[in-house]
Structures are given as structure tokens and as C-alpha cells.
Amino acid sequence: MSERLIPSNPSISFVVNGEKRTVNAPGMKRLLDVLREDLHLTGTKEGCGEGECGSCSVRMNGELVNSCLVPALQAEGATIETVEGLGEAGALHPIQKAFLECGGAQCGICTPGMLMATAQLLAVNPHPTIGEIREGLAGNLCRCTGFKRIFDSVIAVAAGEMNAEMEHGTGGAHAG
Amino acid sequence: MSTSEKTRIVGTAVPRKEGVDKLLGRARYLDDIEREGMWHGATVRSAIPRGLIRAIGFDRRIDWSEFTVVTVADIPGRNHIQLINADQPVLADGMVNHCEEAIVLLAHADKHKLREAVDAVNVEYEPLKPVLTIEESERQDTIVWGADNVLKSFLLEKGDVDAAWAEAAHILEGEYRTGAQEHLYIENNGVIAERNEESGITVWGSLQCPYYVHKSLLAVLDLQEDKVRVIQTETGGAFGGKEDYPSTLASHAALLAMKSGHVVKMTYDRMEDLAATTKRHPSRVRHKTALDGDGKLLAMDIEVATDGGAYTTLSSTVLSRATLHSPGPYVCPNVRVSSKAWATNTVPYGAFRGFGAPQAIFAVERHMDEIAAVIGMDPVELRRRNFLHDGDTTATEQVMREPVILDKLLDRALAESDYYERRKRFAQENPTSSVKRGLGIAAFYHGAGFTGSGERYLNSLAGIDVTPDGKVRVLVANTEFGQGTNTILSQIAAESIGIEYDDVEMAPVDTNVVPNSGPTVASRTTMVVGKLIERASLQLVGILRVRAGLKGDFTRKEFFAACERLRDQDGEVVSLCRYEAPEGIFWDDQMYRGEAYPAFAWSVQVAQVAVDMTTYSAEVEEFWSVQEVGRVLHPVLAGGQIEGGIAQGIGYALYEKVVWKDGRMANNQMTNYIMPTAEDVPQIHVFFEEIPCRFGGCGAKGIGELPHDGPAPAILNGIRDAIGVGFNAIPLLPEDLFAQLATQELKAEVAAL
Amino acid sequence: MRGNADAHELIAPGSLAGVLELIAGAPGEWTPIAGGTEIMVAHAAGRLREKKLVSLWGLGELRFIEVSGDSIAIGAGTTFRDLRSNGAVQIDAPLLAKAATWIGSIANQSRATIGGNLVNGSPAADSSPALLVYDAEVELISIRGKRRIPYSSFHTGYKRNAMAADELLYAVRVPLRFERHKQYLRKVGTRRAMAISKVALAGTALLEGEAVREIRIAAASLAPFPTRLYQTEGTLQGRPLGSIAIREAQDALLEEAKPIDDIRSTAAYRSRVAANLLGEFLNELLAAEAHR
């Protein structure tokens, strides 16, 4: 039987997508599991458990982190943003819109992490070069797209942020 | 619908059908699903590659009464996964034939107790001598499968190869090897199984082929067809890795669910998925080739050997495709291909994008460049002189009746890549640079759909229905796993009927709801199943015209109104069609002759590579791919398929190595199994030439696998161009490049280039 | 997830003093965890033997970059993102800023700390070669006070270091005396990003005319821990740089290097590539001299 130390499920509070949440969880429970199991925010995914694939990426205190590597206790008092906070049905975030139009998502499993990495990149660097885009997304593995249309999506949304509103097109210059 | 007509929806970049949910993070993949009172399942696996099981001990530190334990004795039906051969057990029965083979299944409500319990099952083995490579298997001094270790063999013969050597101006031999490759879908395998007294068993899973799973469960659980229900959940990548493996996983979860009475979820973490599930077949291909004085092929004698692992799974069909793709897109009057799939005591290999073609095409396209170097001909010219054209016959005596535009594809690839200019520039720059650059090409076809009579055997059924609230539903068992099934089939239905894309939705891929339209493999979905949807759509319109007053150029409102009138008469609105083989397609399985495929997709690819002689690392700097895949139904999805396949092909060539230690994958972590990141992939340029195909849905041919066939040989040909050394084995890691150079002691010569 | 969160205890005393008291009171019982980019991987693999962990995350006392007269002091809790984006580090310890960009990915850089990198003690540690050729010092702290040792003395064996059971790594100090030195750092990994180092070479050198007045060369993955290549340096010290000297230095490196074959690479490759990197560095020095 497993050794149970001082049973310790401390109360941990943090803000997730603008809302204060409190959970009772072991300090060494992964933030990823707290999000998915305690808060039922299953948008954030587990692909490897080693911090290699980035599908668990969330933003924590304005930085991109792999939530599979963050012990819950260290999220105390943090401000966390997940894909669920990015946009809504009928009101997609410009990043989500760009991915939809440019083909940045295929199977979709890497997509939540990829969107958060993109959000982080553009928050820090609103007009990244292609080299900076590659670096910003290098921690998010996509097995389906070959990354090209993800790059296109990021470039599109970065360009769109210069304009007032991005019009919904049918792929336009980014298709084919 | 004529394939030359202007189309409204097909050919446009409509939004991905399930795209919004994926982007919102609302798409529900298997592990996102939680069920009340759900238990978890885990597997006790073999630690050795081959041996007898002497005893299975359950350590007393665990209270086993809390657990459900399943062994081979608990299997109600047959202890075999139903695939081509029924030789793969669901659970090991007294003997193990590969590391990670499943022996015991456990279920418990608590995942952590389950983990401890797995470690507390002690299996005692009597190890037997394992066979771990093709060469060891070929020696046949240890027999591990059947009578002779041969899982399957083929012999393809055209003309008289043996007589041709005497007339040859040149004879060249070469041996080419490819390693195992892991799919690395970002979503690991997972299923949920639920026993239901009334309806038997229901399984939800991340999978490609619900009816394959259905068929296996019937046999394993000894249940009637209507007692087994399989439902595909949103699937995070597959690439062939979820074609057959889910049948094993589903059987495991179902056995646990049946015995425990609980809903059971079984998911693999990355370490387990990497170590225990299928991979691409390793291969060794030998070429002996005769050419005349003009560089025209006179004879090709090809030996193909694949490593099938411990059980047959799909090794025979992979071998078949490898055999049929091994002569390349060339005319050759005398061809012999003798191929064998060898059994070894390694984790059984399975389907992976390309399915034997990448292995075969690596060999022939590398060989063409070696030939060109030896006979002193431009590798481009050598290919031109030997390309198939309209009316030529292939190695199986199939006459090319559809247009073959390899010359056009080649010309375009050379133009787009500025091939000759770049090579000239590199030839000037390389001597004084520590980074050497070169360009390499590959030309190839990919047979679309199942070989020969495969589609007849599948006998697919598919179609559409119309719901009372005004939606057309596509009824197929074909699955979406990123490649665009949902979008494409919706486009075809909408186009063929004459309604809007948003009027169409996909019925859930649930064996209780949709007919068996065949597996989602072999690049067949758009071409074959799309055709069925096209026909079923036209069929429905025809019925509505005859029986429900639909007239002339109807509007969408009129269409749906007519559907309701039909529903009043029939109680439902359904239109299904069964597969019809195209005329004139005859395939002789015994002689291995005839129309191997009803259609071919064609491609020429160019890779620009840079070899850093300080670190011996090769990288792909830029990549061009020109292909003809019939009509392009969706420019963004089609481009995405090509780009994604190329990225995987680059991984296959330069990064993705499975490290074996005593029959086990030693690098079963993403830290150590290396795929290219966003910083590693080159700029990729994709160009389509369109020639609509009569047989395909809205004129399309298969596209998904084609792009993975070319990158490896194109890249290694580019390396040869860059440093003048030919490498014939992949993956080619810097350590391998270094080791070969060191052996050949060519460093000085390379520096003087 | 093979680890059991219930089987571990993680506490966060909230101050450096609190942590030091805790580990002094029970030496060796509490394992410090900063960003967790190593420990959490072991946890997920079910291989985290340490049951009791004390969190260093969020301790402002450990996360600082301070320039004082003759050195930059970098708190052990400084993340690699902090390092790469800090102006003083970019100017005065550019090799360190460069190494910081190579750690994992953007997400790893937000959490991985320089202290964790050094204490984890992998022979492939990304920040080590740069610190070695900068003659860095490490500052250790306990309730008994602080002490400094050369970083080159910090690693004492494979994954073993000079810290006492009640000590924490407090800071790394990089002397500000390399402004005029030529500097070199190159890492060879399995791919361009998220790559564990197969071999890496760092160098700082000061030439007087063509003669080597000062030279420091350090490598990752050529020994059980990151190390200076003293014998190799010895062949160059005081000599005029030329193709023969370079060749001899490379031969010395091939002698001195003791890499191993492992899952990522081979000893032969590591040695040869390290020698090539050394050649690249020395030829750059030569070229720079020639262009004065």
C-alpha cells in the first residue's frame, strides 16, 4: 500500500480565466490535473507528461508554462489563462479566427496549447518575424500540419491586429 | 456531376466542419470524458522478448480483492485480434513473443492503486532465444513464427530479368535500409468500455476504423453483432497508428468492463504508447538494375524484406504495397520483385502513412541517383528517360489509361525550386563553406485506395439521410482525425445535392448509426467513400424528383420541403449506395498481375539540404512538392495534408530513430524520440496540377499518404549532391553521417570539393 | 501520470529564512524544488523518490540580477527568461544570455532556474559551460551563513556537488572582466529547439598579438559533469595561434575528453564534434586577429 504522509490537501486559490477558484489538492498534484479534474477545464491536454509537447501550455502570471510541470501549490495566488478563456462560440478570439481560416488546426489536440503559445508570443511581441514565430512555438509539437499553416495563422492575426477588425474570408491569400 | 463543371463548394476553402469546437477547446477527446463510477484499466506486460510464462504471481502486499483481474482464462470467445491472420493474441497464453506483450489486465477505481498493482504482479519466465532483426530471422536457425518465420511473401515477375543482364551496358546493385518510425500522434491511445446487460458492450475510442474494432470484439467476447457498439471520439491524430491497435485496446477494456461490471477507461501514457503499440515496418531493399547505353532501364531485380514483428497484423498488405511501389514510376520491360515479411520478437509493426511505399520508394529513388552518379548522367535526365507515360505498362502489366504527367510535374518542380541555378551556386560556394548545400529530387506515385480487389471485398455502404429539422447527415463509418473527412464529405454532399455547406452535418461515427463504409486508411476516403456520398446524393435528388415533386433548378428550401414530402410517404429520408468497382479493373492475386490500383496519385519533390560539416548535421532548408491528385476539393486541407506528410517524411529521414535494447524501445519518451519542431521544419512550397479522376468523389484521388513517400529519398539525394557521399540508410542522424565519413576517410576529399 | 501526488508532501515556507531553517533542522530530508522542470518529469514517470519537497518558487530573495562593481550576481531562483531578457547579462555575460535561449522552449524558460540547472548537475547542463569560461563563483547559503566557491569546484562527481546537507545554492557570480575577451558558445543538440545537449563547447580568450594570453575552454557532455578542459587550454597558453597550434589543441581535446555512448549520441561523435567546435572557435580567434 502507498505510504501516506501527513494527509495534506491544502486549500489553493488562483484566478482562472478571470474567475477566482479554490481547490483542495495535494501540493504535488500537477496544475494540469487540477485544471482538468478539479475544475473540469478539459481544453488543456496532456500529450507527454514531460514538458516536451506543449499541449498542456497555459499562461500563468503573464508567462507561458507547461502545466504538467507545475505543482499545484506553486500556482497559489496566480493568474491563469487557459484556452477556455480565449474566446466563445460566436465570439472567437482573433487568434482562433485566424487558425480557423488559415488551416492552423487539423486534429486539434495540440491546438489549445498552440493558441496559448500564440497568445503569449503576441502579447510580448505583437509583430513577430517568422524566426520569432518559430521560436515562440518551438515548444508546441504539432504532428499534423507541418507548422506551415500555423505560421500563416499567426502572421494573419498579427497583421489583423494592425487593422480595426479582421473580416471573415474564405481563406483568401492564405489558402492553397 | 461532370468533373469539369464549375463548382460552388467543392474547390473552396470552407471552414473545417468541427473546427470551431477544436479551437474553443470544447472538442471532447477520449481522456476528456469522465463517467460516474468509472474505473481505470492497466496492463501487465512482458519484460522479455520471447519466452514461456512459468508462473504469474500476485504479491501479497496488495489487497487483490479490490481489483478486477483478467487473464487469458477470462476470454469468452477467441483469444485473437481479427485482422488478416488471426495470430495475434489478445492476452499472452503461456508464451510471450515480444516485449510489452499484454499478459494480465487489472482494473480499479483508483489510478494510483492500479499503478502499484501493476508493479506487484510478478511474471516468471523461461526465456527463449529471441530473433530481433531481419537477418536473424532469415537465418532460420530459430523459428519464431509458422514453419519458417515468413509472415508473407510475394513474387512479381514481368518479362525475363535473368536474360537481360547479358545485354546490359551497366549493371548496378545497391542495398537500402529504413528504420522503425513511430506515429507520435499527440493524443495517446485510449478507450472507454461499458457493459450493458441489454446491448452487450459499448466502446468509445480514439480510433480510425470502428468496424474493425467491432469485428474483433464480436470474436473476442463471443457476442452477436447487435450486442457490440463502437463509437469514435474526437481523435487527436492517427496516421495509421489507430487502424488496428485499437482492436487490442478495446478488447482489453471490454474484458475488464465485462468482468468488473464497471465502466472502464484505459488510456496509455506516452511511455506506454511508445513502447507497446505499432510502428512503421523497418525494411531492407536490394536492387540490381540493368541499363542500356542510353540509360534506359532494361531490368530491375528487387528484393524487399520487411520486419513484421511478432505477429502478422498488417504485414502482408504493407508488403504488398511495398512490392507494387518498389519499381518506381518507370518503364522497365523486365522486372522481378521478390518480397518477404519476416517475423521477429519485437512489438508487431502496423500501418503508418504510406504503408510500405515510403520504404520501397526510398530505395528506388536513392538507387536512381546512385545509378546516375555511376553512369555519369544527370539524375533528372535519367528519370526523364525512364518515366511512365500514357499507354505504358507497369511492372504488373497495368496499362496507364489515365493521364500520366510526370514530365510536367518534374518541369514544374525544377522551375519552382530554381533547381539548376541553385545547384550551380552551391557548387561554387561549397568548397569554401563549412556548410555544404545540395538539392535532391524524388519522383513517385502512390496507388490510391486498396490494392486490386480490396475495395470489392470491403463492399462499402455509405450515404446520407435528412433530419426533420432540415439537416442532411452524412452516414459513414469514416473518421475525422485531422485530415478533413468531415469537411470534404460535407462539401461533396452539399455540392452534389445543390444546397449549402452549412446544411450538411456528419452523423456520429457510431456503429449503431452509420453503415460500414470501410476503414479510414489507404487514402481511400475522399476517392472511394466520397464517390459513394456523391452517388447517394444524386440518387436522393433523383428520388425526390420522381416521387416528391422536386422540380427543375430547385432552391434549398424546395429541396428540404420535398424531403418532408418523402418522409410522409416512407417515414424516413435515407439514400445509401454500395461500392461499384470501376470497369476494366482486373487484378490477379495469384500471379500478382493486372490493375493494381484503380488510380494513381503522382508527385515530384525537391529538397534543399544543408550539411554542417562541423557537427555532421543535415537539415532541410527548403522543400518543394508538386503533385497530381485529381481534383483538389479543398485547397487549405489539401495543402495541409501535403505539408504535414512532408514534415513527417523529414522526421523519417533525419530525426526519428527508435533505439532498441534487447527487443525493447529504449527511447520511449518524447525527450528522446525526436520529431522536428517549428524551428526545424523548412519552408514548404506546395503546387497542384489537377486532372479530375472519373472514379473519385467529385474527381478527387487519394492524397493523405502520397506526400510521405518522397521526402526521405529527396533529402538523402540532396545530401549526396551536397557532399558527394551516398547514404543508404535512414534515419540518417549526425552520428551516422559522421561514422560513415570517418570510415570512408573522405573528409579531406570533401574539404577539397 | 505515474506519480502519486498523495505520496509526496510539498510545503512552501514563504521565505528564504524559513526554508533554511527547515532544511537545517532535518538535513537531507527536504528536497528543494524551484521551477520543477526536472523534478516534475520524474514525478510523472513515477520515479520521484523524494517524498518531502520544499518550494523555492516565488522567493524574491533568490530571484535577482544585480550588477555591482566587479561582477553580476544572479540569484539561484532566476529563470532563464529573466536571464535572456536582462540587459546587463546580454552585455556583460553574453554567453549566458545565449545559453538561456537554448533551454527547452519558451514555456520551460519561464520556469527553469539557473539554480536548478546547476544543482541538477547534468553533464549536459546548458548554463554550465558559459559559467566555467567566465570563472564564475557560486554562493552557498545555510543558517550558518554564506560561503563562496569557484563554480569549477561545485561539481564533485556525476550528479554530486559540494553543498552540505543544509545548504542551498544562493547565487552565481560572474566577474565583469571578459569585455575584451573573444567569446564562443555552441551547443549541438538533437534538433534546433527543445534539444538536450549532445555536446557543447564554450570559450573565452584574450590574445596579445597572435599569442594566447588567456584561454578558458569548457564543455558539456565530455565528462561526468561540465568541466573546464585544462589540458587542452595548456597546449594553447602563451603560444602563438596558428594552424599547428590549433591542430595540437584539438588532439589534446580528443585525449582529454571522456564522453560516453548513451541514448542520445556516441562517444566518438561527441569527441570529434567537440574538437571541431574548438577548431571553429580558434579559427574565429585567428580570423579576428587577422582583421585588426
User: Cα separation of B524 and B240, whole Å?
Assistant: 13
Report angle CA A149, A153, A159 to the nearest 5 degrees. Answer: 140
ipTM: 0.97
pLDDT for B208-222, tens place per residue?
999 999 999 999 999
Are residues B345 and B180 in contact, defined by beta-carbon separation less than 8 angstroms? no
Pairing of strands B574-578, B461-466: antiparallel
Residue A168 has pLDDT above 50, yes or no: no
Same domain for C134 and C92: yes
Q: Phi-psi category of B535—alpha, beta or left, where left has phi over 0 and alpha has psi -120 to 50?
A: alpha
**Chain A: partners with 3+ C-beta pairs within 8 Å:** B, C
| Chain C 15-34, residues with CB within 8 Å of chain A CB atoms | 33
Share above pLDDT 90 across residues of chain B, in percent, rounded to a whole number: 95
Q: Which amino acid is at B48?
A: I
Contact residues for B73 (Cβ-Cβ < 8 A; gap 6+)? none
Give percent of chain B above pLDDT 70: 98
* A37-62 tens-digit pLDDT: 999 999 999 999 999 999 999 999 99
- Residue A65, SS3 per DSSP: strand
* Amino acid B5: pLDDT: 67
Interatomic CA distance for residues B267 and A131, integer angstroms: 37
The pLDDT, as a whole number, for residue C235 is 97
Question: pLDDT (tens digit, 9 = 90+) per residue, C199-218?
Answer: 999 999 999 988 999 999 99
Which chain A residues are within 8 Å of B61, Cβ to Cβ?
1
Tell me the C-alpha to C-alpha distance, in Å, between residue B161 and each of A122, B70, B173, B625: 62, 55, 14, 33
For B501-548, write each residue's pLDDT tens digit.
Answer: 999 999 999 999 999 999 999 999 999 999 999 999 999 999 999 999
Backbone angles phi, psi at B718, to 5 degrees: -65, -35
Q: Which of B243, B267, B291 corresponds to the end of one domain?
A: B267
The answer to whether residues B465 and B434 belong to one domain is: no
The pLDDT tens digits for A109-128 are 999 999 999 999 999 999 99
- Please give the pLDDT value at position A176: 32
Q: Where are the alpha helices (DSSP H) in B261-405?
A: 270-276, 315-325, 357-375, 379-386
Residues of the domain holding C257: 182-290
Q: What pLDDT score was predicted for residue B750?
A: 66
Residue A6 pLDDT greater than 70, yes or no: no
CATH code (residue B727): 3.30.365.10
Distance of alpha carbon C47 from alpha carbon B346, whole angstroms: 26
User: What is the rounded average pLDDT of the residues A86-109?
Assistant: 96
Chain B from 638 to 657: CB within 8 A of any C CB:
655
Task: Count up the domains in chain C and report the number.
Answer: 3
Distance CA B332, CA B345 (A): 37
Residue pair B673/B273 in contact by the 8 Å Cβ criterion = no
Give B375-429 pLDDT, tens digit per residue: 999 999 999 999 999 999 999 999 999 999 999 999 999 999 999 999 999 999 9
Extract the C-alpha cell encoding B717: 539525394
Q: Is residue B734 domain-shared with residue B670, that is, in the same domain?
A: yes
C110/A65 CB distance under 8 A? yes
Any domain includes B475:
yes
CA–CA distance from B213 to each of B40, B80, B222, B284, B421 (Å)?
20, 12, 14, 31, 53
- Nine cell digits for residue B355: 504503408
Q: Please name the amino acid found at residue A159.
A: A
C-alpha cell at position C280: 571553429
- The grid cell for C242 is 596558428
Residue B182 within a domain: no
For residue C92, the domain's CATH number is 3.30.465.10
Q: Match 500471379 to its residue by C-alpha cell.
A: B591
* CA atoms of C192 and C177, how far apart (whole Å): 31
Residues B106 and B205 in one domain: yes
Q: Could you say which of B236, B267, B298 is where a domain stops? A: B267
User: Which of the residues in chain C have pLDDT under 70?
Assistant: none
Do B120 and B199 lie in a common domain?
yes
Q: Beta strands B334-343 and B150-158: pairing type?
A: antiparallel
Q: In this predicted structure, what is the pLDDT of residue B533?
A: 98
Domain spans, chain A = 11-85, 94-174
Cross-chain residue pair C107–A51, CB shorter than 8 Å: yes
pLDDT at A1 over 50: no
- The DSSP call for residue B48 is S
Same-domain pairing of C73 and C37: no
How many CB atoms neighbour CB C148 within 10 A? 12
Q: How does pLDDT run across B316-360, given as a tens digit for each residue?
A: 999 999 999 999 999 999 999 999 999 999 999 999 999 999 999
CA distance B270 to C2: 11
pLDDT at A171: 32
How far apart CA B271 and CA B187 sit, in angstroms, is 12
Single-letter amino acid code for the residue at A124:
V
Quick one: C66 and C169 in the same domain? yes
Q: Which pLDDT score is estimated for A161?
A: 54
Q: Is domain A94-174 annotated with CATH 1.10.150.120?
A: yes
Residues B445 and B465 in one domain: no
Which residues face B193 on adjacent strands?
B203, B264
- pLDDT tens digit string along B68-85? 999 999 999 999 998 888
Does a structural domain hold residue B7?
A: no
Mutation target to probe the A interface, by most A beta carbons within 10 A, among C54, C79, C110, C196 is: C110
Distance (Å, whole) CA A66 – CA B127: 42
In the predicted structure, residue A149 carries a pLDDT above the cut 60: yes
Q: How far is C236 from chain B (nearest CA, A)?
A: 21
Q: Provide the grid cell at C104.
A: 527547452
CB spacing of C5 vs A30 below 8 angstroms: yes
Region at C70 (left for phi over 0; alpha for psi -120 to 50; beta for the rest)? alpha
Task: State whether C208 and C170 are in the same domain.
Answer: no
Which distant-in-sequence residues (6+ apart) come within 8 Å of B561 by Cβ? none
DSSP for chain C reads: --S-GGG-EEE--SSHHHHHHHHHHSTTTSEEESS-TTHHHHHHTT-----EEEE-TT-GGG--EEEETTEEEEETT-BHHHHHT-HHHHHH-HHHHHHHHHSS-HHHHTT-BHHHHHHHT-TT-SSHHHHHHTT-EEEEEETTEEEEEEGGGTEEETTEES--TT-EEEEEEEES--TTSEEEEEEEESSSSS--EEEEEEEEEEEETTEEEEEEEEEESSSSS-EE-HHHHHHHTTPBPSHHHHHHHHHHHHHH------SS--HHHHHHHHHHHHHHHHHHHHHHHHT-
Neighbour tally for B104: CB within 10 Å: 20
Q: Is residue B307 included in any domain, yes or no? A: no
B520: CB partners within 8 A, 6+ apart: B208, B209, B238, B243, B478, B479, B481, B485
Chain A residues whose CB is inside 8 A of the C37 CB are 51, 69
Residue B46's nearest CA partner among B113, B106, B123, B139 is B123
Question: Do B517 and B478 touch, CB atoms closer than 8 A?
Answer: yes
User: What pLDDT sits at residue B408?
Assistant: 98
The candidate with the shortest Cα–Cα distance to B449, out of B696, B654, B252, B117, is B696
Q: In angstroms, rounded to a whole number, what is the distance separating the alpha carbons of residues B270 and B1? A: 46
Domain identity same for B370 and B469 = no
C194, C196, C265 ranked by CB distance to B677: nearest: C194
pLDDT of amino acid A143: 98
B262-305 tens-digit pLDDT: 999 999 999 999 999 999 999 999 999 999 999 999 999 999 99
Largest Cα–Cα distance in chain B? 85
Query: What is the pLDDT, as a whole number, of residue C210?
Result: 80
pLDDT in tens, B223-241: 999 999 999 999 999 999 9
Angle at B319 between CA B315 and CA B324, to 5 degrees: 155
Q: How far apart are CA A34 and CA B92, in angstroms?
A: 37
Contact A101 B27 (CB under 8 A): no
pLDDT of residue B664: 97
Q: Test A47 with B188 for CB contact under 8 angstroms.
A: yes
Pair (B403, B496) in one structural domain:
no
In angstroms, rounded to a whole number, what is the distance separating the alpha carbons of residues B125 and B88?
20
pTM recorded for the entire structure: 0.97
Task: Tell me the pLDDT tens digit for each residue of B25-61.
Answer: 999 999 999 999 999 999 999 999 999 999 999 999 9
Task: Kindly indicate the confidence band of residue B746, based on its pLDDT and cuts at 50, 70 and 90.
Answer: low
Domain finish residue from C175, C208, C242: C175
* A119, B86, C26, C230 from C9: Cα distances, Å: 34, 49, 15, 43
- Determine, for residues B25 and A42 on separate chains, whether the beta-carbon distance falls below 8 Å: yes
* Beta pairing partners, B43: B105
Amino acid at A143: R
What single-letter amino acid sits at B562?
A
> Which domain does B467 fall in, by range?
19-28+454-578
Collapsing DSSP to helix, strand or coil, A86 comes out as coil
User: Which uninterrupted H or E stretch holds B174?
Assistant: strand B170-178
Provide the pLDDT confidence category of residue B748 given band limits of 50, 70 and 90. low
Whole-angstrom distance, CA of residue A97 vs CA of residue B19: 10
Nearest-neighbour CA in chain A from B355: distance (Å): 17
Residue B522 DSSP class:
T
**Are residues C34 and C117 part of one domain?**
no
Say if B6 is an interface residue toward chain A (CB within 8 Å): no
The answer to whether residues B551 and B694 belong to one domain is no
| B541 and B414 housed in the same domain | no
Contact call for A175 and B31, based on CB within 8 A:
no
Chains in contact with chain C (at least 3 beta-carbon pairs closer than 8 A): A, B
Please report the pLDDT score of residue C97 as a whole number.
Answer: 98
Q: What CATH architecture does domain A11-85 belong to? A: Roll (3.10)
Could you tell me which residues of chain A have a Cβ less than 8 Å from any Cβ in chain C? 2-8, 25-30, 33, 46, 49-52, 54, 57, 60, 63-66, 68-74, 76, 117, 120-121, 135-136, 138-140
DSSP codes, B91-108? S--SEE-STT-EEEEEEE
Give the whole-angstrom CA distance, residue C217 versus residue C203: 4
CA–CA separation, B696 and B527 (whole Å):
4
pLDDT attached to residue C5: 96
Would an 8 Å CB–CB cutoff place B667 in contact with chain A? no
What is chain B's mean pLDDT, rounded? 96
- Please check the confidence at residue A174 and state whether its pLDDT lies above 70: no
Q: Which helix (H) or strand (E) holds B626?
A: strand B617-628
CB contact under 8 A, A103 and B648: no
Q: Please name the residues in contact with B570: beta carbons below 8 A apart, sequence gap of 6 or more.
A: none
pLDDT single digits (tens) B590-606: 889 999 999 999 999 99
Q: Which amino acid is at B528?
A: V
- Answer with the one of B553, B578, B603 that is the final residue of a domain: B578
Per-residue pLDDT at A173: 35
- Number of structural domains chain B divides into: 3
Contacts 24+ apart (CB under 8 A), C203-207: C203/C133, C203/C278, C203/C281, C204/C95, C204/C133, C204/C134, C204/C178, C205/C181, C205/C281, C205/C285, C206/C180, C206/C181, C206/C182, C207/C182, C207/C241, C207/C285, C207/C289
Looking at the structure, do residues B733 and B645 belong to the same domain, yes or no?
yes
pLDDT, position C290: 82
Could you tell me the CA-to-CA distances from B599 to A49, B535, C238 in Å, in that order?
43, 19, 72
pLDDT of C49-108, one tens digit each? 999 999 999 999 999 999 998 999 999 999 999 999 999 999 999 999 999 999 989 999
